[in-house]
């Protein structure tokens, strides 16, 4: 690797930031924010995702679609009705995005679109919001969607996200502001603790999708363009999706089978009879590249891995500088040294100082099976091979005094709150259609992260710079999924977080089966 002047400057500035300590005074000179790119084994050289993707990137299948056809999609993670419509896995993100609706939608290009709510209005400078539901919004079973259904759905969803230990939109919706109230059959009012200008975008978060439990239905009943067959059994090797005839924009295909293959080699997803798959594995991409009949299209960068370093537990001097030179070879990824978010503008972002993740209320005692958790360890989320690979590389090459430990999400959240470990590898999914909330979600992992920022700071860009300068956060990699398909597919749209919207999938014109 060639050492350039910007390299040295960056290292010096990072060391200066470490010397000042985490949460140093706001008068400290900020480090340079110029991007410094390193060699990437993939050598993709894409620009940093500083904005929303363009229309071309948001339309990987640009052919004209026709009606009819029975499609098969293979997904490599579990899909469970247990906590639906709140997604826990990438596969659930894809399936639930087709079946359940949020109040608003944000297009892949960043455009705010109508969801279940057809109108929204900020009151009191953004402290209250009033929304009006679509009159024609109907669940799969034909019952209309009411404001009370939304309230009940959100209540259940927020509880589910607490169980997942995820910083979710509920953090900024519920506490202290009165929450959400049904003002009529189709009218809702949301009260916030702090004024929030972009609440409408926040409502497009997949964890705020609306679904209700119905007797006789295995899956929660939603109002999305696709419906899940009611008679599906667990375990679910296959899910059958059919068009929701009550939706104004139903899919054009006749049926869509989702093969759920958790734990399967991603190279086996796009097997015989499978039309479309989504993979992240780099070797799988190489493999599929060797198959002549498989098409591929990268989806927008949707996941960022960040290394969080606890200021309480001193990491070896110079570790951060060395981390900046770490090679990252996970998934379809690229290394980054910046905390950049889509549309990370200069709008005020009060959520940066908001509540942190509270997994349990009241907090539970530490998991006795993890009683040997102690400082000197680097925690990462289990069941995340990319996080595990990053942690292993960091421990092996840069921070040999640490020990990588894979823990469940709840335990990771608890240890972050308690600042128990020396370091953490956390991931940020692009499910927040707001750069402000994405950064806030990162800071919500612990008060010790929020303490790195001055109290009144609300500029997300500056907040990101200060967080980096504190040495408490080191961005590691951006990763993305790749869409693979075989056969004449057409017209696939993406959600704001890069999720393929299966409801928009279609067979190419003239190829659909009768």
Partner 1 sequence: MSTRWRIFLAAVVLVVVPAGILAGFFRGALLESATDEFARDNQARMQGFLAELQRAAAANQRLMRGLAAAAADDNRLRLALVGDRDDLRPYLRDYATQVARTTSLDALALLDADGRILSSAHHRNEFGVSDAGLLQALGNAGGLPGTASDRAPLLERVGPVPDAPPPAAGTAFAIERTPSRAFLAVISRQDFAVGGRTFHWLGGWEPRLQADRLDIGLVTADTVFGDGSPLFGPGLLSEAELADWGRDRAVVWEATTVPLARTGHLEAARLVTAGSLQPLLRQRRQTEQLVLAILTAVLVGAFSLAALLSWQLSRPLADLAGEAERIDLDHPALDFATDRGDEVGQLARVLQAMVQRLRAGARRLADAERRATLGEVARQVNHDLRNGITPVRNVVRHLGETASEHPDQLADVFRQRRGTLDGSLAYLEELAGRYARLAPDTVRRRCDLLAIAREVAAAHGLSDVAGDPGAPDVLADPLSLRRILDNLLRNAREALPDGRGAIRVRVAAVDDPDLGPRCVLTVADDGCGMTPEVQARVLEDFFTTRAGGSGLGLSNVRRLAGDAGGQVRIDSAPGRGTTVTVTFPGAESDS
Binding site for partner 1 (CB under 8 A): 265, 267-268, 270-274, 283, 286-287, 290-292
Extract the runs of DSSP E, i.e. beta strands, from 219-260. Answer: 221-222, 226-228, 238-243, 255-260
Pick between residue 40 and residue 268 the one whose CB is nearest to partner 1. 268
Pick between residue 70 and residue 194 the one whose CB is nearest to partner 1. 70
Query: Residue 161's Cα: distance from chain center in Å?
Result: 13
Place of tokens 């009550």: 246
Which DSSP letter does residue 106 get?
A: E
Pick between residue 286 and residue 314 the one whose CB is nearest to partner 1. 286
CA gap 281, 430 in Å, rounded:
19
Among positive and negative, which fits the CA dihedral 252, 257, 261, 266? Answer: negative
Pick between residue 164 and residue 287 the one whose CB is nearest to partner 1. 287
* Residue 416, helix vs strand vs coil: helix
CA dist list (Å): 321 to 14, 17, 171, 247: 7, 11, 34, 53
CB of 513 to partner 1, least distance (A): 21
CB of 388 to partner 1, least distance (A): 17
CB of 482 to partner 1, least distance (A): 15
Burial class, 290, CB count within 10 angstroms (exposed 0-12 / middle 13-18 / buried 19+): exposed
Pick between residue 386 and residue 478 the one whose CB is nearest to partner 1. 386
CB of 288 to partner 1, least distance (A): 9
Pick between residue 287 and residue 360 the one whose CB is nearest to partner 1. 287
Pick between residue 261 and residue 344 the one whose CB is nearest to partner 1. 261
CA gap 274, 297 in Å, rounded:
16
CB of 280 to partner 1, least distance (A): 16
DSSP per-residue string spanning 345-391: -S---GGGGSPPP--SSSPPPPPGGGTT--SSEEEEETT-HHHHHHH
Pick between residue 72 and residue 326 the one whose CB is nearest to partner 1. 72
CB of 76 to partner 1, least distance (A): 14
CB of 264 to partner 1, least distance (A): 9
Extract the runs of DSSP E, i.e. beta strands, from 214-302. Answer: 221-222, 226-228, 238-243, 255-260, 276-279, 294-298
CB of 284 to partner 1, least distance (A): 9
CA gap 338, 331 in Å, rounded:
19
Q: Point out which residues pair with 458 in neighbouring strands.
A: none
């Amino acid at each position: 690797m060639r050492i350039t002047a910007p390299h040295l400057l960056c290292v010096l500035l990072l060391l200066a930031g470490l010397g000042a300590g985490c949460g140093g005074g706001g008068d400290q000179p900020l480090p340079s924010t110029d991007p410094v790119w390193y060699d990437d084994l993939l050598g993709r050289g894409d620009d940093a995702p500083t904005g929303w993707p363009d229309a071309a990137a948001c339309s990987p299948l640009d052919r004209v679609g026709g009606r009819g056809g029975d499609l098969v999609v293979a997904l490599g993670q579990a899909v469970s009705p247990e906590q639906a419509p709140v997604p826990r896995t990438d596969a659930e993100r894809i399936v639930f995005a087709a079946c359940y609706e949020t109040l608003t939608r944000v297009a892949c290009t960043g455009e705010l679109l109508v969801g279940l709510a057809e109108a929204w209005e900020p009151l009191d400078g953004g402290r209250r919001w009033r929304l009006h539901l679509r009159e024609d919004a109907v669940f799969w079973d034909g019952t209309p969607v009411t404001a009370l259904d939304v309230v009940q759905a959100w209540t259940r969803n927020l509880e589910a996200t607490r169980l997942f230990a995820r910083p979710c939109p509920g953090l900024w919706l519920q506490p202290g502001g009165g929450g959400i109230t049904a003002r009529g059959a189709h009218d809702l009012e949301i009260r916030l603790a702090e004024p929030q200008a972009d609440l409408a975008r926040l409502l497009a978060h997949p964890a705020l999708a609306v679904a209700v439990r119905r007797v006789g239905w295995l899956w929660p009943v939603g109002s999305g363009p696709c419906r899940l067959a009611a008679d599906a059994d667990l375990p679910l090797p296959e899910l059958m999706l059919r068009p929701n005839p009550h939706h104004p924009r139903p899919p054009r295909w006749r049926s869509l089978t989702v093969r759920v293959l958790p734990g399967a080699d991603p190279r086996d997803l796009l097997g015989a009879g499978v039309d479309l798959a989504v993979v992240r594995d780099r070797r799988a991409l190489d493999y599929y590249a060797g198959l002549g009949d498989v098409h591929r299209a990268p989806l927008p960068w949707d996941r960022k891995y960040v290394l969080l370093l606890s200021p309480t537990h001193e990491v070896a001097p110079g570790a951060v500088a060395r981390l900046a030179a770490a090679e990252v070879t996970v998934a379809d990824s690229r290394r980054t040294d910046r905390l950049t978010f889509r549309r990370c503008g200069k709008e005020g972002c009060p959520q940066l100082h908001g509540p942190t993740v509270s997994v349990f209320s009241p907090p539970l005692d530490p998991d006795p099976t993890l009683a040997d958790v102690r400082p000197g360890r680097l925690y990462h989320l289990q069941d995340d091979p990319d996080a595990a690979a990053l942690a292993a590389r960091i421990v092996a090459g840069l921070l040999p005094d640490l020990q990588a430990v894979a823990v469940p999400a709840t335990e990771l959240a608890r240890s972050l709150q308690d600042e128990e470990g020396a370091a953490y590898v956390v991931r940020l999914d692009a499910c927040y259609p707001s750069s402000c909330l994405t950064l806030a979600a990162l800071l919500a992992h612990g008060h010790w992260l929020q303490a790195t920022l001055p109290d009144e700071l609300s500029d997300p860009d500056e907040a990101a710079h200060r967080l980096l300068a504190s040495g408490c956060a080191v961005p590691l990699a951006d990763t993305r999924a790749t869409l693979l398909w075989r056969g004449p597919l057409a017209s696939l749209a993406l959600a704001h977080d890069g999720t393929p919207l299966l409801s928009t999938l279609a067979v190419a014109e003239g190829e659909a089966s009768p």
